[in-house]
A and B are shown apart, each in its own frame.
Chain A
Amino acid sequence: MSHYAPILLVFLMASAIPAVVWYLSRLIRPNLPNAIKCSSYECGITTTTEAREKLSIRYYLVAVMFLVFDVETVFLMPWAIQMKELALFGLVEIGVFLFLLLLGYGYIWSKGALDWE
C-alpha cells in the first residue's frame, strides 16, 4: 500500500493548487450579477427550449460497445503485469480471449452497429 501513498498525496496537492488560484482571482475581479447576465445562452433571444432533451439512441449503442472493449483492456492489464509468471500458458489464454473478442467485433461490424445511417 505504501507504494500508492504518493498518488493520494499528489492528488490532494493538485486539488489544493486550483483552489488557491480560484480564490486569489477574487481580489481583482468585479462581482455584480443580475438576472440577465445569469440567464442561459441563447443567441440573444429569450430561452425557449428545455435543456433536457432526448439524445440519439446511437450514443447508447456506442456506450455499450465501449463498455465491452474497455473491460477487455482492463482484463489485458493484469495479464500483462504477470506476463513473465504466466509464460506460454497465459499467452495462449490471452490469444483465445482476444480471438473471441475479435469474433464479437466482427459481429457488431457485420450487423451495422458501426454505421450511423
Chain B
Amino acid sequence: MDVIKVAFFVLVFPGFLFQFVMAAALEWMDRKLYARMQNRVGPLYTGQSGFLQPVADLVKLFAKEDLTPAAADKFMFNLMPLVALAAVCASGLLVPLWPIKPFTSFPGDIIVDAYLLAIPSFALFLAGWFSSSPFSLIGASRVLTQLFAYEVPFFLALLTPAVIAGSWQITEIMAFRWWEGPWWSIALRMVGQTIAFGVAVTCLQAKLERVPFDAPEAETEVVAGPLTEYSGKKYGIFRLEKNILMYTGAALVAAVFLPSFPIGAILGGIWLIAKTLVVVAILSVIRASFARIRIDQIVVFSWKYLAPLSLLQFLVVLVLKAQQG
C-alpha cells in the first residue's frame, strides 16, 4: 500500500484533521441550535456567526498550565485522555465516507466500531477513579453504571441493520437494497429499523453523557464528575474526544439506520454527512427538551423501556428472517 496515501488517509481526510473539523463544526451547530431553542444567540463573535468558537475554546485550553493533582495516579491520570481520543479517532476511520475500501473496510467492522465507541466511557471511568477525588469517584461510578444501562440496548439495536442486510461490514449494510422484496418484508424492515434507530439515538445520547443522561457530569451535584480534576490540555483533549465521539457515533448511526442510495462515492459521502447532521440535530433537540434525570432513573429507564424495545425489534427481524427462510 502506498505510504503517502495511508498517511494522507489517517492524518487528513477521514482521519484526524477531517474529524477535528467535523467535531468543531458539529459542536458549533449543536451550540447554536441549543441556544436558539432557548431564545439565546449562542456563539457570535469568533469567526462568521461564532463558527470558530469551538476551535478558540480548544486553543485556550491547550495554552493553559498543565496540572496533575498530587493525590492522583500520575501515569493513568495522564494516559486516559490519550486512550479516549485514540479510540474515537480509530472509530472515525471506520466511517465509510470514501471508497478507499481495502484499508478501512473489513468484515465485522461494525462490531469493532461499536467496541471502539465503548472505550471512551471506560477511559472516563478510569480517569475519575485515578483522580482520587470524591467528586471524581462518584462521577466515575455513575459513568460505569450508565454504561451498564445503555450498552446492551445499543448493541442489540446495531445488530438489527446488520441482520437485515445479512452482513457485518458497514459499507455492505449501506449498499443493501432495502427497497427490494415483497411489501411485507419491506414493512417489517421499516418497523425494525425505526425502533432500532430510536433506541440507538437514545443510547448515543447516553453514551455522550448529554442532557437528560448527564448524571455523571452533573455540575450542580458533583462539580464535573470524573473530569473535576482535569484542566488545561487534558480537559481539552477530553472535550475534543467528546466532540469527535459525537461525530463518529452519529455517523455510524446515520450510516446503518438511515436510508442510503447507490449514488456514487462523492455524492454518497455528502449524503452520509447530511444524514450525520440530521442525527446531531435530533441529539440537540433531545438535549434542549429534557431536564437531567437521576442515575437510578437512567438505569430503570434503559432496563425497563430501552432493553424490551430493542428485544422487540430484534424479534421483528427474527420473524422477517424466518419468513425468508
Contacts and interface: CB of A to CB of B under 8 A. Distances in A.
Interface of A: 3-4, 6-7, 9-11, 13-15, 17-19, 21-22, 25-26, 28-33, 35, 37-42, 49-53, 55, 58-59, 62-63, 65-66, 69-70, 72-73, 76-77, 80-81, 83-84, 87-88, 91, 94-95, 98, 102, 105, 109, 114-116
Contact of A63 (B11, B68, B148): B148
A18 B325 contact: no
Interface of B: 6, 10-11, 15-16, 62-71, 81-82, 85-87, 89-90, 93-94, 103-104, 106-108, 111-112, 131-137, 141, 144-145, 147-149, 151-152, 155-156, 159, 162-163, 166, 168, 223, 228-229, 232-233, 237, 296, 299-300, 303-304, 307, 311, 314-315, 318, 321-322, 325
A105 B163 CA distance: 23
Given A40-B69, A51-B137, A66-B148, A25 B86 contact: no
A49 B163 contact: no
B159 A29 contact: no
A41 B141 contact: no
Given A22-B237, A39-B69, A49-B134, A77 B111 contact: yes
B152 A69 contact: yes
Nearest to A105: B307
A51 to B, nearest CB: 4
Main secondary structure of the interface of B (DSSP, over half): helix
Given A18-B237, A19-B82, A116 B300 contact: yes
Quick one: which of A41, A94, A95, A116 has the most chain B CB within 10 A?
A41
B103 A6 contact: yes
A26 B318 CA distance: 55
Contact of B89 (A17, A50, A69, A81): A17
